Amino acid sequence: MRKNIVAGNWKMNLDLTEAQQLMTQLLSYSNNNKSNCEIYIAPPSIYTMMAKDLLDGSSIGVFSQDVSEFESGAYTGEISGKMLQSISANGSLVAHSERRQYHGETDSHANRKVKMLLDLGLTPIYCNGETLEQRKAGQHFEVVKNQTEVALFTLSAEEIKKVVIAYEPVWAIGTGETASPEQAQEIHAHIRSLIAAKYGQDVADEISILYGGSVKPDNAKEIFSKPDIDGGLIGGAALKIGDFSKIIEGFN
């Protein structure tokens, strides 16, 4: 059975004191409230080990925002999967739209990262989604299909069941455009149908697909009620405990 997940991607935000405060608030919330979903955070890499220490013993998962496709070597600024494994991190985001836009990451890179994480027993949260130009050109189904196939379809059925997918409508993030819950559901169903066609419906039904398109406290419940949306990859709203906790409660 697939999991309900609310994951907070902190991006490049918060200084040390602010990060510690937010983690402490989230830990207190988790300890004092029953959640009907799994809670993950992806803080900046400089805080990953601190997050593991502060959240030790809790059910909150700690993820990296990115990971190298290489095991080790002369790759300045990179973080390896073995490094994440060594501090007991849970996994990493892979191919986030900002990694694609600013760092030229492709689905071939993503494929190698996903496989490497799985080989280490870590969870990849693989991100995909179309741009505004692609959406306006009616290419969104084909774009997401190609992304999913290149990044994931070399995996075995057992491997792909361990991947979390996050659909990001890049066209609806910071553009003034708005994606409706129905549009989100449409693409989520499309992704699940692609997996079903390749691996069978039973495998597709085990994979959590998250929505990464500006989930907020006032729309979380409606978005999470859609049959193929299993949670959210949350950006700005994950930086405020009040907003993030209300989004988590969208599953209540």
SS3 39: strand
9 in a labelled binding site: yes
Q: 232 a known binding residue?
A: no
- Say which residue the tokens 């836009």 belong to: 101
Q: Does 231 belong to an annotated binding site?
A: no
Give the whole-angstrom CA distance, residue 38 versus residue 166.
15
Count of CB atoms situated within 10 Å of the CB of 118: 20
26: Cβ contacts below 8 Å, ≥ 6 apart: 39, 41, 55, 60, 241, 244
| 168 among known catalytic residues | yes
Check whether 81 is labelled as a binding-site residue: no
Would you say 174 is a known binding-site residue? Answer: yes
8 is in an annotated binding site: no
The helix or strand, by DSSP H or E, that contains position 127, with its residue range, turns out to be strand 123-128
Catalytic residue, chosen from 38, 69, 96, 98, is 96
Residue with tokens 């799994």: 38
H/E stretch holding 242: helix 241-248
Q: Which of 38, 69, 130, 168 is catalytic?
A: 168
Long-range CB pairs of 196-203 (<8 Å, 24+ gap) are: 198/149, 198/153, 199/157, 199/160, 200/157, 203/157, 203/160, 203/161
User: Is 61 annotated as contributing to ligand binding?
Assistant: no
Cα 79 to Cα 30, 101, 185, distances in angstroms: 28, 19, 34
Residue 166 is inside which H or E element, if any? Answer: strand 164-167
Token pair of 46, please? 């400089």
**Is residue 96 annotated as a catalytic residue, yes or no?**
yes
Cite the annotated binding site for substrate by residue number: 9-11, 174, 214, 235-236
Where is the binding site, in residues?
Answer: 9-11, 174, 214, 235-236
Catalytic residues, which ones?
96, 168
